[in-house]
Structure 1
Amino acid sequence: MKISAPLLLSLAGAVIQTLASPLSVADNNFLASIDLPNLEEVDMISIGPVTPGGPDVTLTGTAKSIYEQILVLNPSYNPADFGGEPLKPEPTLAEKALSQLEGRTWTGGCCRCTGAPYNVEAYDQATLDGINYLLALGTRQCGTGSGGVLRAACSYNSAIWMVSRTQTATYSPCNALGVAANSIYRSCYLDYRVNGQICDSGGFCVIIGGGASC
């Protein structure tokens, strides 16, 4: 199954503007049954060209490791050639302050709304790094394995997970996933920590949280 970029982008916009309602008890029970923090080796599968106009190449890993593999295959890789964004440097103190201010203006929605063990806070910079790598991968496809679960980014025990409640392989443009994760970050950031999730009507969820093994 593929999730279209417009769907994820509109979904992300809806979170920023109105914020999604918290997931139901049934949804939380489903997520708890997966036990994401203990799934240490759930590689993301990414399919797409590594050179402009070149053939599709399948790579596995986190967004960061896939980006690094692409650089080995194509040292002159430019994210803009693939609809992506260049990696951003670490934000300045002023940018962090602005981000914190923006995060604190949001109310309600699906921030810190998931039960244990997904209610652990993720570190802000580790989360931003993962988001930036997803955006840099551009329009190549990023997806889950047959079980419908992947860990797109993980560092300093902070992770970006993607889960399909249909428990089937699900793909979406990598940069669209980055936009969805960024909407969670902007909506749920508080005191250099973030925890939240966003799900579409088809049951595809992007989750940011801590407590991961990395």
Structure 2
Amino acid sequence: MKISTPLLLSLAGAVIQTQASPLSVADNNFLASIDLPNLEEVDMISIGPVTPGGPDVTLTGTAKSIYEQILVLNPSYNPADFGGEPLKPEPTLAEKALSQLEGRTWTGGCCRCTGAPYNVEAYDQATLDGINYLLALGTRQCGTGSGGVLRAACSYNSAIWMVSRTQTATYSPCNALGVAANSIYRSCYLDYRVNGQICDSGGFCVIIGGGASC
């Protein structure tokens, strides 16, 4: 199992710009080989405690369903106990995300720059809901199956994906994926829609797009 180092994200003060810093041709060819919208069954694997100081528990599903499973196991679950954010969106969420964009290198950040099937736009509120659930999961690990692809969130045909460039099982803190997705959202939002991607130096990309069946 490949564990990505803690994602203290870094854009070095830069934001994703439309058509700026696209993925290389090789990376686009790799992404084109994966039909993300048709991978409805490939939900993420999440590993971590559900009670402070408790043993690791492995759960599967989208960020929302994993959060709901945690509440069944621990009705008193408090995201703050696990380095997470409360589900209720806070006005300072964007600022908090920016404060975490330090110490990590991201490449290939761009808006509406991917080819089919990734060029379908996602609904803004559905995307925000997915981001909030990822942030609420805190520092527990979220990862892909052996194929290197996970669907972290999906509703109203709008999804957040994590794709490993090595096509092997890859893990990252759940809230770090939320911060990455929030960075895409803040930079790529336009007319209640969002589509974009950003890639981590550890070898995976986070993609927001529509066209999923959910």
TM over 0.5: yes
In structure 1, how many angstroms separate the alpha carbons of the residues matched to 2:196 and 2:5?
Answer: 21
In structure 1, how many angstroms separate the alpha carbons of the residues matched to 2:48 and 2:103?
Answer: 34
Q: Secondary structure at the match of 1:6?
A: coil
Q: Secondary structure at the match of 2:102?
A: helix
- Please state how far the C-alpha of 1:27 moved relative to its aligned partner: 1.5
- TM-score, with structure 2 as normaliser: 0.86
Instruction: Answer yes or no: is the 8 Å Cα contact 1:141–1:171 preserved in 2.
Output: yes
Instruction: Answer yes or no: is the 8 Å Cα contact 2:144–2:171 preserved in 1.
Output: yes
Instruction: Answer yes or no: is the 8 Å Cα contact 1:100–1:192 preserved in 2.
Output: no
Sequence identity (%):
99
1:37-86, Cα deviation, whole Å (9 max, x unpaired): 11110010000000001000000000000000000000010000000000
Q: Runs of at least 4 residues of structure 1 off by over 3 A?
A: 1-8, 11-20, 89-109
Instruction: Answer yes or no: is the 8 Å Cα contact 2:162–2:206 preserved in 1.
Output: yes
Instruction: Answer yes or no: is the 8 Å Cα contact 1:103–1:186 preserved in 2.
Output: no
Instruction: Answer yes or no: is the 8 Å Cα contact 1:20–1:109 preserved in 2.
Output: yes
CA RMSD in angstroms comes to 5.1
Identify the range of structure 1 (197-206 vs 161-170) with the bigger mean alpha-carbon deviation: 197-206
Structure 1 residues 190, 78: closer, same or farther in 2, change over 3 A? same
- TM-score, with structure 1 as normaliser: 0.86
- Please state how far the C-alpha of 1:202 moved relative to its aligned partner: 3.6
Instruction: Answer yes or no: is the 8 Å Cα contact 2:9–2:100 preserved in 1.
Output: no
Identify the range of structure 1 (94-103 vs 42-51) with the bigger mean alpha-carbon deviation: 94-103
1:71-118, Cα deviation, whole Å (9 max, x unpaired): 000001000000000002598999999999999999995100101111
Equivalenced residues, count: 214
In structure 2, how many angstroms separate the alpha carbons of the residues matched to 1:3 and 1:20?
Answer: 29
Specify which structure has the higher proportion of helix.
1
Structure 1 residues 98, 29: closer, same or farther in 2, change over 3 A? closer
Structure 1 residues 12, 155: closer, same or farther in 2, change over 3 A? farther
Structure 1 residues 17, 84: closer, same or farther in 2, change over 3 A? farther
Query: Unpaired runs of 5+ in structure 1?
Result: none
Instruction: Answer yes or no: is the 8 Å Cα contact 1:103–1:187 preserved in 2.
Output: no
